[in-house]
Amino acid sequence: MRITQMIIACLLISTSAIATDKDNRQILALSEAQRGHVLEEMRALLSGTQSILAALSTDDMASVSKHARPLGLGMAHKAEDHLKGMLPKEFMQLGMSLHRDFDQMAADAESKKDPKLTLRQLSDAMTKCIACHDAYQIRATPASAQTQEHQHRHHHH
């Protein structure tokens, strides 16, 4: 069995096992626009990770750096300020840590040019993706509920 077939088989098995469990993840209630922004960032991280893996498969460390750099803290700073106030501190810390990991990955790919190091870094970074997806789920809320929640948070902090 080829490695990609093994990975797909593992994903299917783990996905079906997860599907039968009760979902105890914390719900992050965001507006449709905020939810879209977070999901767009996650898709960019996933796509970038795939591009990094493809570059690693040919030991193209310049491409590794090129694909890792946009996933760093520069990406995180593009989030609107109102979004930061809506997400739990732990979620934000995990995300910022992940973005720092990609900055380090890009820098090390340029300076050390060690594909095995990058693979270890990418594996470590992905444990943060898994931890986040295990802990949280994002749901869009109607605009009126979102406004009330936002006002509620500001009155109690």
**Tens digits of residue pLDDT in 2-42:** 666 656 655 566 555 555 668 999 999 999 999 999 999 99
Which tokens is 47 given? 């796509």
β-strand partners of 138: 28
What kind of fold does domain 25-141 have according to CATH? Four Helix Bundle (Hemerythrin (Met), subunit A) (1.20.120)
Q: Give the dihedral of Cα atoms 132, 105, 93, 16; nearest 10 deg.
A: 0
Hey, where are the domains in the chain?
25-141
Helices and strands: H and E segment counts in the chain? 8, 2
Average of per-residue pLDDT values in the chain:
86
* Whether pLDDT at 79 is above 60: yes
* Whether pLDDT at 122 is above 60: yes
Q: How far apart are CA 139 and CA 35, in angstroms?
A: 7
Cβ neighbours around 125 below 10 Å, total:
22
Angle at 87 between CA 86 and CA 88, to 5 degrees: 125
Among candidates 2, 107, 126, which has minimal Cα distance to 53? 126
